[in-house]
């Protein structure tokens, strides 16, 4: 009997741990064990090495599963678009005043699409199994872009974008004077 | 709408409530010094032995009591300026001090311990001549006042007039002095110049003329300094031309001619051209004067004489001697004489008046300040010691208005610099770096970096680091050493050698120029006078202009200030160049100015020694440069075409602009004439050279920008109408470009009168005038804007400005008269501006510029609210917390000087007048400094607590994770 097999390697807690770090128990019949072990005791005892009590899945591809995959992929792709109405509602509710909550909302709204766009490749990997991978990818991209556009719009309506001349006022250097002038009342 | 206004008003008021100082901040960064001016009369209170009072009356119309032990003021009364408050005479008897003020208009009696007014009487008109206390039978009961044509007698305890009598023949006789010897008579002496003396005798009880006689005196022109009364009624006169003394027995009917005693018979001679002076003493007004007197024969020769049995006997000859004075304590009268000892010191000795014998061990050595003036007044306070000998203290006043109080054997008890009561102009200079800071500065200076290679630079770096370390260790050691000493002795002594710039450049050197020609260097943090320099031979009506040519930023070159002194009479000026930190005269050769100087112009051009170039324009419009090295002349030739200057001649009502030519001559390029028969120019102001404007525009409610019209060459010219009728008088303001002479804007305020006070800064001008129609003071503000677009954002040239600016104006009622106006100034101009208003009450009001904004709307709109504009209200509020000097009032504030500090939020303010007050203001509060009450302990303990908590919890979490992993 080898360790990874039916023999239980007592690495977890229990009364024995206090005495020794680990021990290999060869007599499996003994029931002086912790509760967790006891639950699977019957299985350990009954089944031989390599036996799995889970049913082996049917790996043969079926038509219905393919549809499911498609559907699942479309779910992923359409996710950002579906969030837009919700975002619009939040935007409307939070108003245009600059305070901590609207700012947090805007940050979240802007950050999520950007995050999603950053992890585009991961999403693509997810969509790999789909036949309409490219279309779905495009939809996903557009959805995220729309989301970020919405965030930008929100920033704009809150006045956070430097689009006015007053936003650049602080950077104007004082003009250099060309003439030197002085004088005063006749002393 | 209404609630919006209310809300706004509340928010604005909340915004400003904390602008005043807190109680525990009093005196923390501000100080005040009170002055009195040049002493004209000084009397020691000899009423009781322990008295510390010294009563003084000065040319600034100040009547004050000084503590003679410390020099501090017990109390001070500041009367009106000018002849209205002029103090004509000061007499003291017991606890009462009698003052005649306003050319004999008012007679006042003051209680000397607390300075309360006992009574006041308005006298009849007539120019004042003399006043004297009058005693009857050892009691002083009356005070007699002699006017040009009348004499009046007043009761000393109530001020009520006993009698008033017209003087006989007052149109031909000049009555000048008065004398009473306690025998029930008052003598009035008058003179008809070069003819005869008139003596009128009045009876005290009812003012009846008892006797009137005239005595031949063809040699006499004035009685005042050449005659005196000595020894039970003998009139004694001295004449320089006949070199004689004259005596006259007042109460003898038979003597009708003065007895002449030739000075030659006494082996004396009056110095040629010197008007001899007689000094006698009358210790008690109810008794006749002593028979001893001083005769001054030349500026440094006095002689003590005695009249004995009709003969004049010299008691002691004091040659040389500068000053002599009598003093009385109890029954004993002494004479103090100041004689030169050596070049730097004088000795003062005490002599008994009746014998002329010197008192032993009474010498006081008075060390003359090498940078000061000569002594010119001596006041003596004599007192009886326990062993019945006479002790004394003296107060010496010098030409440069220093009061020095000395006691034996020459210890200076206190000193007062009364020249500071009349500050004309001032500057604030950055202090130099310490040696270590300068070392670093030198290391990273531009010159050094180019000269040296890499390795020397590294070595230099290491050595300077080592020096820094050394300095730090020395500092630590000093801290440790000081901590062991008692707290009182640790007091930070400001010393000229340890002077160095502090972290935020809050401590500066105040260079003050006074009207008497004395310069002072004062530490702005403590008010300590660090150096003083008396410039001799300054005419009393000279004009001063102080120019900073090199600041302390150019180590190792010392800072350099230049003072232009112009004599009003001759028009000639001369330059005095000095180091503003140490007050030493600079060795630099100064250009001679053979022609009268009209104006000066400080150019931003610097020579190889980093000194800015000063141009002096003479009356032929030729230019002298200082310094004038080859380098400078070369630079000037290159830049000459862009150098312009303007001159304003108010007598001709002419403004003229000049351009510099390459050969340092000038050409007239424009002229504006304001007809003098209608209005006269009263003041012209450009912008301050060290002013920075951070923001080039103002943000509107719709977030667009209204650009400011920031013309550095703009001049504000104020005129007043020559017609002073309240219906027709007006005040005009012209905004003129100083380069082209173009009138940018003009405005006229009808039914307005001066004096106009104004400030010209950034893109605005604020001026104050008197509205003669509504009889109130009004503020008016002019603001100039370029509009929504900048014409040229990179360079500004007055020659290329096609579009006139938009001008906005608004006026407000100010509920108080004002005496001076100035604006705050900060390093970068980010902080909002406040106006500093000096009020005649002595308070200084810090008025936010926000209230003086011509964009304040009459109707509040969304946009104006967005802009934070306060709705227009004609009344300007004055809040008590806006007074930056709380109860430290500045008497007769004449000017306010503002200077930026190293902190953007902080502006240094010095108000000067009769007093000097220094403080700091924070127009936008201290946004760049932690508050005084910032809880360092709490914050740092919380921080450390959190830090340790994190450490501990991290460790605990690790242990827990490990344990779980083992499970």
Residue B913 binned pLDDT confidence (cut-offs 50, 70, 90): very high
Q: Is residue B571 part of a domain?
A: yes
Q: Is residue B548 part of a domain?
A: yes
- In chain B, which residue's Cα lies nearest the Cα of A181? B644
Expressed in angstroms, the distance from the first to the final Cα of chain A is 116
- What is the structure's pLDDT at B485? 66
pLDDT digits (tens, 9 = 90+) for B448-507: 555 667 888 888 888 878 888 888 898 888 888 877 766 554 455 566 667 788 888 899
Q: Is residue B904 part of a domain?
A: no
CB B351 within 8 A of CB B359: yes
Regarding whether B580 and B535 lie in a shared domain, the answer is yes
- Cβ B799–A179 below 8 Å, yes or no? yes
CB B759 within 8 A of CB B823: yes
Residue B609 binned pLDDT confidence (cut-offs 50, 70, 90): confident
Q: Is residue B439 part of a domain?
A: yes
**CA B174: distance to chain centroid?**
37
**Mean per-residue pLDDT, B246-274:** 80
Percentage of residues in chain A having pLDDT higher than 90? 1
- The token duo for B570 is 């001759």
Out of A159, A170, A176, the one facing B794 most closely (by C-beta) is A176
User: Exposed, middle or buried: residue B110 (CB in 10 Å: 0-12, 13-18, 19+)?
Assistant: buried
User: Exposed, middle or buried: residue A69 (CB in 10 Å: 0-12, 13-18, 19+)?
Assistant: middle
Secondary structure E strands in B439-542 = 508-514, 518-523, 529-534
Residue B33 binned pLDDT confidence (cut-offs 50, 70, 90): very high
Q: Is residue A126 part of a domain?
A: yes
Regarding whether B628 and B510 lie in a shared domain, the answer is no
pLDDT digits (tens, 9 = 90+) for B693-714: 988 999 988 888 999 999 999 9
- The token duo for B716 is 């504000």
pLDDT digits (tens, 9 = 90+) for B343-355: 888 888 888 888 8
Mean pLDDT of chain B: 86
- What is the structure's pLDDT at A53? 75
Count of H-run helices and E-run strands, chain B: 7, 63
Regarding whether B535 and B430 lie in a shared domain, the answer is yes
Q: How many domains does chain A have?
A: 1
Beta-bridge partners for B749: B731
CB A178 within 8 A of CB B643: no
Reference B128, options B159, B172, B84; nearest CA is B84
- What is the structure's pLDDT at B964? 94
Distance CA B882, CA B836 (A): 10
Nearest CA distance, A27 vs chain B (angstrom): 22
Q: Is residue A91 part of a domain?
A: yes
- Cβ B647–A186 below 8 Å, yes or no? yes
**Mean per-residue pLDDT, B227-251:** 83
Residue A46 binned pLDDT confidence (cut-offs 50, 70, 90): low
CB B797 within 8 A of CB A176: no
Distance CA B311, CA B304 (A): 14
Regarding whether B548 and B649 lie in a shared domain, the answer is no
- The token duo for B549 is 């040519």
Residue B573: list chain A partners with CB under 8 A: 187
Regarding whether B410 and B327 lie in a shared domain, the answer is yes
C-alpha pair distances (Å), A85 with each of A89, A90, A143 = 6, 9, 12
Residue A15 binned pLDDT confidence (cut-offs 50, 70, 90): very low
Q: Is residue A3 part of a domain?
A: no
Range of lowest pLDDT (B43-52, B233-242, B294-303, B635-644) = B43-52
Q: Is residue B334 part of a domain?
A: yes
Out of B645, B648, B967, the one facing A181 most closely (by C-beta) is B645
Out of B695, B797, B967, the one facing A179 most closely (by C-beta) is B797
- What is the structure's pLDDT at B644? 92
Nearest CA distance, A17 vs chain B (angstrom): 8
- Cβ A174–B703 below 8 Å, yes or no? no
User: Residue B255, Cβ neighbours under 10 Å: how many?
Assistant: 14
- Residue B492: strand, helix, or coil: coil
- Residue B29: strand, helix, or coil: coil
Residue B408 binned pLDDT confidence (cut-offs 50, 70, 90): confident
Residue B14 binned pLDDT confidence (cut-offs 50, 70, 90): very low
Q: Is residue A85 part of a domain?
A: yes
Q: Is residue A11 part of a domain?
A: no
Distance CA B761, CA B903 (A): 20
- What is the structure's pLDDT at B373? 84
Distance CA B492, CA B487 (A): 11
- What is the structure's pLDDT at B492? 54
- What is the structure's pLDDT at B897? 95
Task: Decide if the complex's ipTM is over 0.95.
Answer: no
Out of A167, A172, A185, the one facing B696 most closely (by C-beta) is A172
Distance CA B751, CA B238 (A): 59
Regarding whether B577 and B608 lie in a shared domain, the answer is no
Higher pLDDT, B66 or B609: B66
Q: Which domain holds residue B621?
A: 595-673
Q: What are phi and psi of B958, to 5 degrees?
A: -60, -45
**Mean per-residue pLDDT, A40-64:** 66
pLDDT at B214 over 80: yes
Interface test with chain A among B696, B707, B785, B965, by most A beta carbons within 10 Å: B696
Regarding whether B430 and B572 lie in a shared domain, the answer is yes
pLDDT at B317 over 50: yes
Q: Look at residues B612, B647, B673 and tell me which one is the last residue of a structural domain.
A: B673
Q: Look at residues B673, B706, B737 and tell me which one is the last residue of a structural domain.
A: B673
Regarding whether B657 and B558 lie in a shared domain, the answer is no
Distance CA B559, CA B580 (A): 7
- In chain B, which residue's Cα lies nearest the Cα of A170? B695
- In chain B, which residue's Cα lies nearest the Cα of A159? B703
Regarding whether B515 and B437 lie in a shared domain, the answer is yes
pLDDT at B17 over 60: no
Alpha carbon dihedral B771, B774, B777, B778, in 10-degree steps, equals -70
Q: Which residues contact B29 (CB under 8 A, 6 or more apart)?
A: B506, B525, B919, B920
Q: Which residues contact B3 (CB under 8 A, 6 or more apart)?
A: none
Regarding whether B600 and B571 lie in a shared domain, the answer is no
- The token duo for B610 is 């980093």
Q: How many domains does chain B have?
A: 4
pLDDT at B262 over 50: yes
Distance CA B765, CA A132 (A): 73
Indicate the length of chain B as a whole number: 967
Q: Which domain holds residue A124?
A: 60-162
Q: Is residue A127 part of a domain?
A: yes
- What is the structure's pLDDT at B432? 84
Q: Is residue B941 part of a domain?
A: yes
Residue-wise DSSP of chain A = --TTTTSEEE-S-SGGGGT-S-EEE--TT-----HHHHHTHHHHHHS-TT---SPPP--S--HHHHHHHHHHHHHHHHHHHHHHHHHHHHHHHH-S--SHHHHHHHHHHHHHHHHHHHTHHHHHHHGGG-TTHHHHHHHHHHHHHHHHHHHHHHHHHHT-S--SGGGGGGGPPPPEE--EEEEEE--
**Mean per-residue pLDDT, B260-289:** 83
CB B168 within 8 A of CB B200: yes
Nearest CA distance, B825 vs chain A (angstrom): 17
Distance CA B15, CA B878 (A): 15
Interface test with chain A among B618, B699, B801, by most A beta carbons within 10 Å: B699
Higher pLDDT, B247 or A131: B247
Distance CA B396, CA B407 (A): 11
- Cβ B795–A164 below 8 Å, yes or no? no
Out of A169, A177, A184, the one facing B648 most closely (by C-beta) is A184
pLDDT at B779 over 90: yes
Out of B604, B650, B696, the one facing A185 most closely (by C-beta) is B650
**CA B314: distance to chain centroid?**
45
Half-sphere exposure of A101 (CA within 13 A, CB side): 8
pLDDT digits (tens, 9 = 90+) for A117-154: 888 888 888 777 777 778 888 888 898 899 889 889 88
- Cβ A186–B699 below 8 Å, yes or no? no
Regarding whether B560 and B602 lie in a shared domain, the answer is no
CB B289 within 8 A of CB B181: yes
Nearest CA distance, A173 vs chain B (angstrom): 8
Range of lowest pLDDT (A41-55, B270-284, B794-808) = A41-55
Residue B443 binned pLDDT confidence (cut-offs 50, 70, 90): low
**Mean per-residue pLDDT, B531-549:** 89
Q: Is residue B151 part of a domain?
A: no
Nearest CA distance, B926 vs chain A (angstrom): 21
CB A182 within 8 A of CB B602: yes
Beta-bridge partners for B545: B564
Q: Which residues contact B589 (CB under 8 A, 6 or more apart)?
A: none
Regarding whether B561 and B441 lie in a shared domain, the answer is yes
Nearest CA distance, B613 vs chain A (angstrom): 12
Q: Is residue B913 part of a domain?
A: no
DSSP conformational letter for B832: P
- What is the structure's pLDDT at B718? 94
**Mean per-residue pLDDT, B239-254:** 80
Expressed in angstroms, the distance from the first to the final Cα of chain B is 71
Q: Is residue A181 part of a domain?
A: no
Beta-bridge partners for B227: B237
B612-618 β-sheet, strand order: B597-606, B612-618, B623-626
- Cβ A180–B644 below 8 Å, yes or no? yes
């Amino acid at each position: 009997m080898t360790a990874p097999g039916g023999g239980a390697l007592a690495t977890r807690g229990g009364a024995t741990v206090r005495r020794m770090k680990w021990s290999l128990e060869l007599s499996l019949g003994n029931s002086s064990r912790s509760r967790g072990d006891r639950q699977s005791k019957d299985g350990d005892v009954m089944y031989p090495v390599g036996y799995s009590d889970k049913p082996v899945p049917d790996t043969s591809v079926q038509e219905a599963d393919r549809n499911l995959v498609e559907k699942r992929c479309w779910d992923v792709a359409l996710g950002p678009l579906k969030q837009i109405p919700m975002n619009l509602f939040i935007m409307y509710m939070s108003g245009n005043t600059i305070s901590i909550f609207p700012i947090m909302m805007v940050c979240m709204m802007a950050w999520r699409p950007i995050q999603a766009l950053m992890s585009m490749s991961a999403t693509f990997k997810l969509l790999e199994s789909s036949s309409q991978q490219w279309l779905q990818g495009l939809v996903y991209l557009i959805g995220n872009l729309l989301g970020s556009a919405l965030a930008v719009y929100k920033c704009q309506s809150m006045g956070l974008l430097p689009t006015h001349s007053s936003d650049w006022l602080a950077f104007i250097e004082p003009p250099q004077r060309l003439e030197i002038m002085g004088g005063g009342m006749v002393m | 709408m209404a609630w919006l206004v209310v809300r706004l008003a509340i928010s604005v008021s909340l915004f400003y409530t904390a602008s005043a100082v807190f109680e525990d901040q009093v005196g923390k960064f501000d100080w005040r010094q009170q002055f009195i001016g040049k002493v004209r009369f000084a009397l020691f209170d000899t009423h009781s032995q322990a008295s510390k009072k010294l009563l003084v009356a000065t040319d600034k119309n100040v009547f004050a009591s000084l503590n003679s032990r410390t020099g501090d003021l017990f109390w001070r009364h500041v009367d009106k300026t000018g002849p209205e408050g002029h103090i004509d005479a000061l007499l003291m008897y017991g606890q009462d001090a009698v003052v005649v003020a306003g050319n004999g208009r008012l007679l006042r009696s003051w209680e000397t311990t607390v300075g309360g007014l006992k009574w006041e009487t308005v006298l009849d008109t007539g120019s004042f001549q003399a006043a004297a206390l009058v005693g009857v039978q050892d009691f002083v009961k009356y005070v007699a006042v002699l006017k040009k044509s009348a004499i009046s007698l007043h009761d000393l305890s109530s001020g009520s007039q006993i009698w008033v009598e017209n003087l006989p023949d007052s149109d031909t006789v000049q009555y000048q002095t008065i004398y009473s010897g306690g025998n029930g008579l008052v003598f009035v002496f008058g003179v008809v110049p070069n003819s005869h003396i008139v003596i009128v005798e009045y009876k005290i009880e009812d003012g009846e003329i008892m006797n009137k006689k005239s005595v031949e005196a063809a040699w006499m022109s004035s009685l005042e300094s050449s005659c005196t009364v000595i020894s039970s009624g003998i009139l004694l006169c001295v004449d320089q031309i006949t070199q004689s003394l004259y005596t006259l027995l007042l109460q003898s009917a038979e003597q009708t001619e003065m007895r002449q005693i030739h000075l030659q018979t006494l082996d004396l001679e009056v110095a040629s051209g010197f008007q001899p002076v007689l000094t006698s003493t009358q210790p008690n007004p109810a008794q006749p004067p002593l028979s001893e007197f001083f005769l001054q024969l030349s500026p440094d020769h006095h002689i003590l004489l005695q009249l004995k049995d009709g003969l004049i006997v010299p008691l002691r000859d004091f040659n040389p001697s500068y000053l002599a004075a009598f003093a009385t304590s109890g029954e004993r009268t002494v004479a103090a004489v100041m004689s030169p000892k050596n070049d730097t010191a004088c000795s003062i000795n005490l002599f008994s008046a009746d014998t002329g014998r010197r008192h032993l061990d009474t010498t006081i050595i008075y060390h003359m300040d090498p940078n000061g003036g000569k002594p010119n007044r001596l006041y003596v306070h004599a007192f009886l010691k326990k062993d019945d000998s006479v002790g004394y203290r003296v107060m010496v006043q010098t030409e440069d208005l220093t009061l020095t109080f000395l006691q034996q054997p020459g210890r200076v008890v206190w000193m007062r610099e009364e020249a500071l009561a009349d500050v004309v102009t001032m500057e604030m200079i950055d202090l130099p770096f310490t040696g270590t800071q300068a070392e670093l500065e030198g290391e990273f200076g531009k010159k050094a970096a180019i000269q040296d290679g890499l390795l020397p630079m590294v070595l230099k770096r290491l050595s300077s680091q080592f020096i820094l370390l050394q300095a730090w260790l020395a500092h630590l050691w000093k801290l440790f050493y000081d901590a062991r000493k008692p707290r009182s002795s640790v007091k930070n002594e400001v010393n000229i050698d340890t002077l160095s710039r502090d972290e935020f450049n809050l401590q500066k050197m105040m260079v003050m120029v006074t009207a008497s020609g004395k310069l002072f260097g004062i530490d702005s943090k403590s008010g300590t006078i660090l150096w003083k320099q008396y410039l001799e031979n300054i005419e009393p009506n000279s004009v001063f202009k102080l120019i900073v040519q090199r600041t302390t930023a150019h180590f190792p070159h010392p800072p350099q200030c230049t003072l232009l002194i112009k004599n009003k009479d001759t028009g000639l000026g001369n330059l005095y160049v000095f180091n503003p930190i140490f007050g030493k005269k600079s060795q630099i050769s100064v250009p001679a100015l053979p022609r009268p100087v009209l104006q000066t112009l400080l150019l931003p051009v610097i020579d190889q020694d980093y000194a800015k170039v000063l141009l002096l324009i003479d009356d032929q419009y030729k230019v002298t440069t200082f310094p004038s090295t080859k380098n400078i002349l070369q630079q000037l030739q290159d830049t000459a075409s862009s150098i312009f200057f303007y001159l304003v001649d108010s007598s001709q009502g002419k403004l003229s602009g000049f351009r510099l030519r390459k050969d340092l001559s000038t050409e007239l390029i424009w002229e504006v004439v304001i007809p003098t028969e209608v209005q006269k120019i009263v003041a012209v102001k450009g912008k301050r050279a060290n002013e920075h404007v951070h923001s080039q525009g103002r943000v509107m409610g719709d977030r667009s920008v209204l650009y400011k019209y920031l013309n550095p060459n703009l001049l504000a010219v104020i005129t007043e109408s020559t017609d002073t009728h309240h219906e027709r008088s007006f005040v005009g303001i012209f905004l003129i470009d100083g380069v082209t002479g173009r009138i940018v804007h003009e405005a006229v305020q009808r039914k307005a009168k001066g004096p106009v006070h104004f400030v010209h800064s950034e893109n605005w001008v604020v001026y104050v005038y008197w509205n003669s129609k509504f009889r109130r003071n009004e503020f008016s503000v002019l603001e100039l804007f370029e509009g929504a677009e900048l014409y040229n954002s990179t360079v500004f040239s007055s020659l290329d400005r096609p579009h006139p600016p938009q001008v906005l104006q608004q006026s407000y009622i100010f509920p108080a008269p004002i005496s001076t106006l100035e604006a705050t100034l900060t390093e970068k101009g980010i902080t909002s501006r406040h106006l500093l208003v000096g009020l005649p009450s002595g308070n200084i009001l810090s008025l936010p510029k926000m209230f003086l904004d011509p964009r304040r709307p009459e109707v509040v709109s969304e946009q104006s609210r967005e802009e934070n504009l306060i709705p227009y209200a004609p009344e300007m509020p004055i809040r008590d917390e806006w007074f930056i000097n709380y109860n430290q009032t500045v008497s007769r504030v004449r000017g306010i000087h503002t200077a930026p500090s190293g902190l953007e939020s902080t502006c240094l303010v010095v108000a000067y007048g009769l007093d000097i007050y220094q403080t700091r203001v924070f127009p936008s509060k201290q946004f760049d400094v932690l508050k005084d009450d910032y809880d360092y302990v709490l914050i740092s303990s919380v921080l450390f607590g959190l830090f340790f908590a994190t450490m501990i919890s991290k460790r605990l979490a690790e242990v827990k994770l490990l344990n779980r992993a083992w499970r």
